[in-house]
Chain A
């Protein structure tokens, strides 16, 4: 009986862990689908609007009202699925920001998702609306545009920053492992390896500095209200993170070299070739 219970628990854990990954993928695919649909509906709206402005017939007016209503509905839907995708990214990606900030962002995303759902319900609940009725509802969305963009850029930045932070942590752990290995060597052999390890630590340090710059940019981004102010900061943040990743790639090269030399010294089964083969790249 205990075995069966343990088996069920093990499979439930496996199920939940796998399900969260697949769920995140599903939400991203759903967003792509809804965004594509929005673009199609938008084209229909533009066509109907131009026809109405040109001919001003009753038919073209009805067509314009219908496509405007569809557009507003689909705009809510596209943004809603985008926020859901961001939310699942924030939840599933490793090392994403501080727990408090992550929860804060998720809470804000939830709030916006609820608001979008309410607005969507209101638009769909209108029977035979006029264009003015629809524009009044649309204006509410426009009023929130900067808030929506700010939340989008912040969530995206936090997610990317978390990814690089996670890489940096991995590099530090490997460096510590290598330090322990070098510590066990004879004094003459250890001297060279220690110098090489300092090079790795230097790359880790430079990577960390770039992460700190990215964090500073994220703080700056939080204060900006307008999109034209947010975009350049977001761009700078991505440059910082790219630099940080570059330093970590260099750290990896050095770590690989040290690891191979250590194996040569210890003459173990873990040959240089075996590591190269697994990585698919040479030194």
Chain B
């Protein structure tokens, strides 16, 4: 309030030359600090530590690979197949069913039934392969 202000020019008078505003902070030696001790010119969030960036990058890569493998994208005959989720992994939503003791038992019974249906004791595909162990032959003269 103690500063002196120039009076605005009265209409019709020659306008007073504009004073060039100083927009840049004068270069000071040392780091200016506020009363709180914070450096306002160099906020900490502007330059994150490279270590954190690497961690975030690794996490993103791990998530992407995990999702890719998790949902089981497999290529077969040139086509990408995304199988439907295994019935074993599908459980009733906890939002629609109250989490009581009965619900837990119900889940166990439902899961047991699914396991019973899924167990294939034939496993024909994994029977030992039929290999010809003796391939020797003789040429009769």
Give me the interface of A with B, judged by CB distance under 8 Å.
Answer: 1, 4-5, 7-8, 11-12, 14-15, 18-19, 21-22, 25-26, 28-29, 32, 35, 38, 42, 45, 49, 52-53, 56, 68, 71-72, 75, 78-79, 82, 85-86, 89, 135, 138-139, 141-142, 145, 149, 152-153, 156, 159-160, 163-164, 166-167, 170-171, 173-174, 177-178, 181, 238, 241-242, 245, 248-249, 252, 255-256, 259, 262-263, 266, 268-270, 275, 278-279
Say how far A31's CB is from chain B's closest CB, in angstroms: 8
Contact A269 B98 (CB under 8 A): yes
- Contacts A135-B136, A156-B123, A259-B109 aside, 6 further interface pairs with beta carbons under 8 A come to A53-B139, A160-B123, A241-B121, A268-B100, A270-B100, A275-B109
**CA of A60 to CA of B75 in the docked complex: distance in angstroms?**
39
**CA of A6 to CA of B134 in the docked complex: distance in angstroms?**
57
B32, CB-defined interface residue at 8 Å: no
Minimum CB distance partner of B112 in chain A: A170
Say how far B138's CB is from chain A's closest CB, in angstroms: 9
* CB contact list, B58-108 vs A, under 8 A: 58-59, 62-63, 65-66, 69-70, 72, 74, 92, 98, 100, 102-106, 108
- Dominant SS among interface residues on chain B: helix
B22, CB-defined interface residue at 8 Å: no
CB contacts (< 8 Å) of A53 on chain B: these are 137, 139-140
* CB contact list, B99-141 vs A, under 8 A: 100, 102-106, 108-113, 115-116, 119, 121-123, 125-129, 131-137, 139-140
Given A167-B119, A174-B112, answer yes or no on A11-B133 (Cβ-Cβ < 8 Å): no
CB contacts (< 8 Å) of A164 on chain B: these are 119, 121
27 A/B residue pairs, CB under 8 Å, sorted by A:
A4-B52, A4-B56, A8-B55, A8-B62, A14-B70, A21-B72, A22-B70, A28-B125, A35-B129, A45-B135, A53-B139, A138-B134, A139-B136, A149-B128, A153-B128, A156-B126, A164-B119, A245-B119, A252-B113, A259-B106, A262-B102, A266-B102, A268-B100, A269-B98, A275-B110, A278-B92, A279-B110
Contact A22 B72 (CB under 8 A): yes
CB contacts (< 8 Å) of B74 on chain A: these are 22, 25-26, 29
Given A152-B128, A167-B116, A275-B106, answer yes or no on A15-B69 (Cβ-Cβ < 8 Å): yes
CB contacts (< 8 Å) of B56 on chain A: these are 4
Give 8 closest A-B pairs by Cβ, nearest first: A15-B66, A18-B70, A152-B128, A145-B133, A142-B133, A170-B112, A11-B62, A177-B105
User: How big is the B interface, by class?
Assistant: 35 or more
Contact A85 B135 (CB under 8 A): no
Minimum CB distance partner of B103 in chain A: A270
CB contacts (< 8 Å) of A25 on chain B: these are 72, 74
Given A18-B69, A28-B125, A82-B128, answer yes or no on A270-B116 (Cβ-Cβ < 8 Å): no
Contact B135 A71 (CB under 8 A): yes
Minimum CB distance partner of A269 in chain B: B98
Minimum CB distance partner of B98 in chain A: A269
Given A11-B66, A156-B128, A270-B106, answer yes or no on A163-B139 (Cβ-Cβ < 8 Å): no
Given B110, B129, B134, which contacts A278 in the complex, CB threshold below 8 Å?
Answer: B110
Contact A163 B121 (CB under 8 A): yes
CB contacts (< 8 Å) of A245 on chain B: these are 116, 119, 121
Contact A238 B125 (CB under 8 A): no
Contact A12 B62 (CB under 8 A): yes
Contact B136 A89 (CB under 8 A): no
Contact A174 B129 (CB under 8 A): no
Contact A167 B115 (CB under 8 A): yes
**CA of A5 to CA of B112 in the docked complex: distance in angstroms?**
36
Minimum CB distance partner of A242 in chain B: B121
Minimum CB distance partner of A32 in chain B: B125
Contact A238 B121 (CB under 8 A): yes
